[in-house]
Structure 1
Amino acid sequence: MVASSPSSDLPDYRAKSVGDEPVTSVLPDGDIAFDPHGFSSSDDELLASLGYKPEFKRDFNLYTTFSVSFAVLGLLPSFASTLYYGMGYAGTAGMTWGWIVAMFGLHSMPTSGGLYYAAAVLAPEGWGALAAWITGWSNWMSQITAAPSVNYGTAAMLLGAVSIVNPDYTPQNYQVFLLTTFIMILHAIISSMPTRWIAQINSWGSTFNFVALIVVVILIPAATDRESRGLSRFTSSAEVWGSIYPGTDFPAGFAVLMSFVAVIWTMSGYDSPFHLAEECSNASIASPRAIVLTSITGGTFGFFLQLVVAYTVVDIAGALDSDLGDPYAAYLIQCLPQRIAIAILSLTIVAGFFMGQGCMIAASRVTFAYARDGCFPLSKYWARVHPRAKTPVNAVWINALIGNLLLLLIFAGDVAVGALFSIGAITSFVSFTIPIFIKVFFVGNRFRRGPWHLGRWSVPIGVVGLGFVALMVPVLCFPALTGSRLTLDEMNWTVLCYGAPMLFVMMWWYWSARHWFTGPKINVEHLMLGRGGNVVEGRHLARDAVKGQAGDGNILFY
């Protein structure tokens, strides 16, 4: 598209129309992305087409983006941290069949762009801001609970290792809290470093995670000493695939569904590349490719890990109720010599540290992005980029503070702090589902496919994903016990921990935010060429862009 100046004092500009870019933008189709100094890269040009100016260095590539994503996925530490739910609710049958079924449902929930942005631009007219508001807050809650829950699991494993070496030691809640808080602070320091350093550290972490996972999958079946305990080397397939452990008061089929929380939480980090898209080169290809690589790699190796544990576990009840305070550590001691168990536990702890680091990075980018659009109180502070590090340092530390406050749930007991895991699963579901629901039922021809897309399978796969979510969200809110056995300590607090903040957020929307929150804001300077040919200088407001009130042929400057 050629934009000719209606005034003699303006040069001719030749630039791409937003309508020609493979994005669904908050800008009207006639707007033209333009930089008088020339775009430094095609990534920056595409970002301008979305209405944003580049604020980060693009030091991530496909591998380093995949590294963060795989680190956030953290198969080995994720599996270890959620063993209480994956094995404790339905036993080995829940682990094996549960992984297969849940993975099918999860892979029916792909995203084709930033959740919050997609919800805003795909929603029917007049509903974009509300869709972005709900999606953004749900996704943010998912992000800020990730690092605390991961680091809680890492701290529990570390103290469990101490208990193995010193049987007289029993971890106390305050010790778990202090150790988890210390890990959170370390992660905040690392996440405040320059992007290039963060990318390198996460490359190391991802490599370590992958190597540790392979070592564990091979070493456990090779070194198991079940035979010395009077057992067969491996549990029979009939028991592994057909035995339902009575870990809940619900029927076996429902218990298997409840065990899905382990799979959902484990795989919930595969969308992390989208949070790093503004720091990644060739982002329109590298980000979705990193997501595909993460989901395929995670799903495959995760299933093998499930099988290894299912075929070697000795006593499920003993692992769940062990004085070690960590079911994974107790399981390892059951089926392995102590030295090998300690070695595997050490690998898992280090992998968990890198996983928590990846979660902290992803959460800070989400906080920055939403603060940039004014979602939060004091947004101008959380949206600042450090001039030297070129990273959102303020966003990192506010997330760390909130995460440490959430860790106070440790003092309310294992079930209460377990709500962090269920919240992560449900909030991910809500934030993923809203843009998919809008795209399936309301978008029609308004959606522009990017370089990677599902083609004709997009709608049917989306329908399957929506059905899976509609089934699982209520299931994730059920407690394991019922009737007189259900006490306050055994309650599932997910509804309260997610519902109360979201109720406040919706009240805030009704009383205030709906008057000033307009969804994604455009932060590029521009000249606006009106329909009548008049030249108007200034900043293009997101409100006008969303409502389609701006004139066609706008030239955007930054």
Structure 2
Amino acid sequence: MNTPREIHPVVSQVRVDDMNIKSILSGQNITINVDHAVDDDEAKLLAMGFTQEFKRDMGAFEIFAVSFSVLGLLPSIAACFDYQQLVIGMSPLPWIIAMLPITAVALSMAEISSVYPCSAGTPYAVSQLAPPKFRAYLTWFTSWSNWMCQITAAPSVSYSCASLMLALKAFADPSYSPSNAEVFGLSCGVMIVSAFMCMAPTKWAGRFGSIGTILNIMFLIIVFVMILAGNKRDEMHDGLSRFNSNSTAWGLYNQTPFPQGISFLISFMGVIWAMSGYDSPFHLSEECSNPTTAVPLGITMTSVLGGVIGFLFMIAISYTLVSIDDIAADPDGLGQPFVTYLTQIMDKKLVMAATALTAVSSFFMAQNCLLAASRVTYAYSRDGLLPLSNIWKKVSRKTQTPINAVIANCILGILFLLLGFAGDTAIGAIFSCGAIAGFVSFTTPTLLKITYARNTFVPGPWNLGKFSKPIGWLSVAFVAMMIPLLCFPWTSGKDLNVQNMNWTVLVYFGPMVVSSIWFFVDARKWYVGPRSNINPDDIIYGQQLETGEEIPDILDGEKISISSTEKK
């Protein structure tokens, strides 16, 4: 006996094909019944196949605020000394050269976000741009890659935050040296506090992001002024001028066993990681108003402003830094090259103040990284991608936020932090893993847009116009070049051992290989890409389906059949 369908009053109807978008529901003459009045933002989300579960309490500034806080220029620059200055020297050249193709990656993604503004991000775009034969696998692969990027971001930033705090204590008390257990425990504390903040209602999450951004910008400016105005190189080091000469500041100092050109490219890792986070607005699409323009604008502003401000900050460092060799040697045992750099040019009080401000900025960066990651976990669970998806896709009725997804990401982050017990090389792998995972997921839809879908892609309200393809090709070429370079070890020959190996290959490609095997062995039988979570009772199919024909399995539930009476 058929179960009676629930009947409720229809207040609004959304005709999917009238929305002029290519989605998982388009091209099937579908009308969606809604029991309340809908605005344009909700109508487009419904046409994409999803119900509005979050409150749209964020505006353009709020999602930019979250994104810029995730970018976290000050703590990112501090955390990436190992990947830039300690690779090729103090020169700002790597930054200014790398920021151009990185911005191209962001602009290409921004154009795509204007067409597909949903929390799933780039995988949804892949599902609509890929060839039908490979659509499910490419969406699956992109989803897992993006998820790897998201779940490694918060623990890596939390680790940096904890390291800065403990470096501050070590600087104040020379007899103190933090243990791995202390770094791990404090990192976990940052993750847990961040998780509670991410469970708050969307309005509060947006406010936390705004506060984090305001503090991030303020502290960035304050530390920038400290570096220039508080610089006492000439007093602290006999024979030095207050600032480096142009030739010294812009000179390259290869500290790797590889040719200088290769080392220069490897140093882009620091720029890539410091400029990451611009994808966050994409994952907050369902929580902001007017997402077709607000989301790409947030992505663009984060990338461009982050690149320019970061370059100015790098110039300040290059003209004041005293000795790369001394920073690498870490004579005071601080474990943080950025703090060691500050001790070369400032008195003790300024060093402590600058480090404290950087640590606070790092905390808000970690919190917003976890916020974006939880929305990705929710979105992919909605598609049935992750194990136990039914748990992670639940949205709290009280806060209207995915609390279970936040908890899951927090636990995974703590597990990643256990790599710290294996040494700096192992924990460092999650930095470069996030860079590769992000690049792959950010650029896959761009590659499809300029190749297979080049004649069918319809730009949204925010687009690159005639520059779309050139910028797309630049971003794809840059990512293709950087992926193998980000896997390079830091040593070679006899010095290359287990301790000095770059474990990014294992941390990223290991899970990706496992996920691919899972797809071809099992998931290909049931995974179809993004799934609609709209109640099947609210979907009316037009005359394209004949009596008894099965509705495509795009719904979050079992397939149903319709009779001619039901179609009418």
TM > 0.5 fold call? yes
| Aligned: 1:418 with 2:428 | yes
Residue in structure 2 matched with residue 97 of structure 1 by the alignment: 93
Residue in structure 2 matched with residue 241 of structure 1 by the alignment: 250
Residue in structure 1 matched with residue 314 of structure 2 by the alignment: 306
Aligned-pair identity (%): 42
Change (3 A) 1:33 1:165: farther
Change (3 A) 1:326 1:28: same
CA distance, structure 1, for counterparts of residue 53 and residue 555 of structure 2: 22
CA distance, structure 1, for counterparts of residue 520 and residue 390 of structure 2: 22
- Which secondary structure does the structure 2 equivalent of 1:118 belong to? helix
| Aligned: 1:531 with 2:540 | no
Q: Deviations over 1:316-347 (max 9, x none)?
A: 12222311111111111111111011111111
Within a 5 Å distance, the mapping from 1:97-496 to structure 2 comes to: 97-109=93-105, 110-111=108-109, 112-113=112-113, 114-228=121-235, 229-230=237-238, 231-242=240-251, 244-322=252-330, 323-496=333-506
| Aligned: 1:500 with 2:510 | yes
Change (3 A) 1:188 1:445: same
Q: Deviations over 1:433-458 (max 9, x none)?
A: 21111111100332221110111211
The equivalent position to 1:513 in structure 2, one of 523, 532, 535, is 523
Q: Displacement of 1:25 after TM fit?
A: 1.3
CA distance, structure 1, for counterparts of residue 286 and residue 96 of structure 2: 33
Q: Displacement of 1:499 after TM fit?
A: 1.3
Residue pair 1:227, 1:233 contacting (<8 A) in 2 also: yes
Residue pair 1:146, 1:359 contacting (<8 A) in 2 also: yes
CA distance, structure 1, for counterparts of residue 15 and residue 129 of structure 2: 19
Q: Deviations over 1:456-492 (max 9, x none)?
A: 2111111111110111000000011100011211110
CA distance, structure 1, for counterparts of residue 10 and residue 281 of structure 2: 38
**Normalization by structure 2: what TM-score?**
0.91
For 1:178, give the aligned amino acid. G
Residue pair 1:132, 1:519 contacting (<8 A) in 2 also: yes
- Which secondary structure does the structure 1 equivalent of 2:56 belong to? coil
CA distance, structure 2, for counterparts of residue 102 and residue 314 of structure 1: 24
Change (3 A) 1:215 1:31: farther
Please identify, of 20-29 and 346-355, the stretch whose mean Cα deviation from structure 2 is larger.
Answer: 20-29
Change (3 A) 1:527 1:394: closer
Residue pair 2:16, 2:30 contacting (<8 A) in 1 also: yes
CA distance, structure 1, for counterparts of residue 47 and residue 548 of structure 2: 20
Q: Deviations over 1:488-543 (max 9, x none)?
A: 11110000111111111011001100000000011223343342787889976318
Q: Displacement of 1:251 after TM fit?
A: 1.0
Residue pair 1:528, 1:538 contacting (<8 A) in 2 also: no
RMSD: 2.4
CA distance, structure 2, for counterparts of residue 482 and residue 374 of structure 1: 43
CA distance, structure 1, for counterparts of residue 399 and residue 541 of structure 2: 37
Please identify, of 531-540 and 378-387, the stretch whose mean Cα deviation from structure 2 is larger.
Answer: 531-540
CA distance, structure 2, for counterparts of residue 550 and residue 100 of structure 1: 59
Residue in structure 2 matched with residue 4 of structure 1 by the alignment: none
For 1:132, give the aligned amino acid. T
Residue pair 1:22, 1:449 contacting (<8 A) in 2 also: no
For 1:499, give the aligned amino acid. F
Q: Deviations over 1:25-64 (max 9, x none)?
A: 1223353454443443211001011011101111111111
Residue pair 1:86, 1:263 contacting (<8 A) in 2 also: yes
Residue pair 1:419, 1:492 contacting (<8 A) in 2 also: yes
- Which secondary structure does the structure 2 equivalent of 1:520 belong to? coil
Q: Displacement of 1:174 after TM fit?
A: 1.1
Residue pair 2:198, 2:205 contacting (<8 A) in 1 also: yes
CA distance, structure 1, for counterparts of residue 142 and residue 317 of structure 2: 36
For 1:163, give the aligned amino acid. A
Residue pair 1:518, 1:543 contacting (<8 A) in 2 also: no
CA distance, structure 1, for counterparts of residue 128 and residue 412 of structure 2: 30
Change (3 A) 1:543 1:384: closer
CA distance, structure 1, for counterparts of residue 458 and residue 22 of structure 2: 5
Residue pair 2:534, 2:555 contacting (<8 A) in 1 also: no
CA distance, structure 1, for counterparts of residue 517 and residue 289 of structure 2: 40
Q: Displacement of 1:145 after TM fit?
A: 0.3
CA distance, structure 2, for counterparts of residue 507 and residue 278 of structure 1: 32
Q: Displacement of 1:267 after TM fit?
A: 1.3
Unmatched 5+ residue regions in structure 1?
A: 1-8
Change (3 A) 1:250 1:281: same
- Alignment length, in residue pairs? 538
CA distance, structure 2, for counterparts of residue 391 and residue 401 of structure 1: 17
Residue in structure 2 matched with residue 6 of structure 1 by the alignment: none
Change (3 A) 1:330 1:22: farther
For 2:305, give the aligned amino acid. T
CA distance, structure 2, for counterparts of residue 85 and residue 320 of structure 1: 12
CA distance, structure 2, for counterparts of residue 339 and residue 533 of structure 1: 74
For 2:445, give the aligned amino acid. P
Residue pair 2:29, 2:542 contacting (<8 A) in 1 also: no
Residue in structure 1 matched with residue 76 of structure 2 by the alignment: 78
For 1:414, give the aligned amino acid. D
- Which secondary structure does the structure 2 equivalent of 1:387 belong to? coil
Please identify, of 427-436 and 27-36, the stretch whose mean Cα deviation from structure 2 is larger.
Answer: 27-36
**Normalization by structure 1: what TM-score?**
0.92
For 1:237, give the aligned amino acid. N
Residue pair 1:151, 1:356 contacting (<8 A) in 2 also: yes
- Which secondary structure does the structure 2 equivalent of 1:444 belong to? coil
Change (3 A) 1:537 1:44: farther
CA distance, structure 1, for counterparts of residue 392 and residue 504 of structure 2: 27
CA distance, structure 2, for counterparts of residue 299 and residue 503 of structure 1: 33
Unmatched 5+ residue regions in structure 2?
A: 1-6, 114-120
Residue pair 2:198, 2:367 contacting (<8 A) in 1 also: yes
CA distance, structure 1, for counterparts of residue 68 and residue 9 of structure 2: 48
Q: Displacement of 1:22 after TM fit?
A: 5.3
